[in-house]
Amino acid sequence: MYDGNPQTKGDKMAIGNKQQWQDAFEAYKALIHDPRYDSEYLRRTGLVPHMIELIGDMRRLQVLDAGCGTGWLFDAITPLGGCECDVVPPVRRNNSRIRSHCQDVCRLTYDDDSFDLVVSSLVLMWVDDLYGAFREAYRVTRPGGRLIVSLMHPYFHTNGHVLHNGSFLIDQSVGSREERNVMISGIVGPLTYYSRPLVDYYNAALQARWRLVGFRDHFIDMERYRIETVDRVKFTHRTDKIPLFTFFVCGKDT
């Protein structure tokens, strides 16, 4: 998970998203459970509860987890059936209802209208072809189905930083740019991150014929954050002045 602390490493050229994630994946897997960082806390108290609430009851749904990473979604909740895919080959599950595949979210091989719900959790910031990802999600979703997206909130990363007093200073222009050699928490990467204003995501979704039907942001509860992470996290650069995660729901017309 990108945690808002980009660091760059020299001028090494990006070598392609897929290879980068393959190389970084073991470190990423370790990071999200490492008590010395706050990723586990932020996911447990922010990402996961919002995603699960937005998804709702999936016991009767065919679900695609597109860019599944470690596969936390189907560890947490079990759909009627579904698939998970990632450019890093997902670990095969001992569950006949879930199939795991190595796939690019911009070039899915699933049939049209295969899923009731597609989930894209913290993936699209790492994807160059944003329209391609929305188009493919749309294609594989049945009419009447949904797409649920979570992102690190675009404002948090690339347009500014947290000051000592906890306020957030936006000091860079808001625009789209490719950032190479990004390190997550200083230890996962280098990765190529696509910094974009939120409106770029909305417009790409609309262009792919989705309707935008739900939105929410997650702000850190700083008091709880301090209590739960004090004495153990390596660096504190968080604020409740701007949202950490953003979520939106898209619907496909019947």
Nearer to ligand SAM, 43 or 238 (CB): 43
* Smallest separation, CB 76 to ligand SAM (Å): 11
Which residue is at the shortest CB distance from ligand SAM?
Answer: 69
Q: How far is the CB of 171 from ligand SAM (least distance, A)?
A: 25
> Is residue 86 part of the contact set for ligand SAM (CB under 6 A)?
yes
The minimum distance between CB 53 and ligand SAM, in angstroms, equals 15
Compute the least distance from the CB of residue 192 to ligand SAM, in Å.
9
Contact between 69 and ligand SAM by CB under 6 A: the answer reads yes
Phi and psi torsions of 77, nearest 5°? -140, 145
Of 186 and 222, CB closest to ligand SAM: 186
Q: Is 108 in the site for ligand SAM (CB under 6 A)?
A: no
Among 3, 38, 40, 104, binds ligand SAM (CB under 6 A): 104
Decide: is 98 part of the binding site for ligand SAM (CB under 6 A): no
Query: Does residue 148 bind ligand SAM (CB under 6 A)?
Result: no
Q: Is 189 in the site for ligand SAM (CB under 6 A)?
A: no
Residues forming contacts to ligand SAM in the complex (CB under 6 A) are 1, 17, 21, 67-69, 72, 86-88, 104-106, 121-123, 126-127
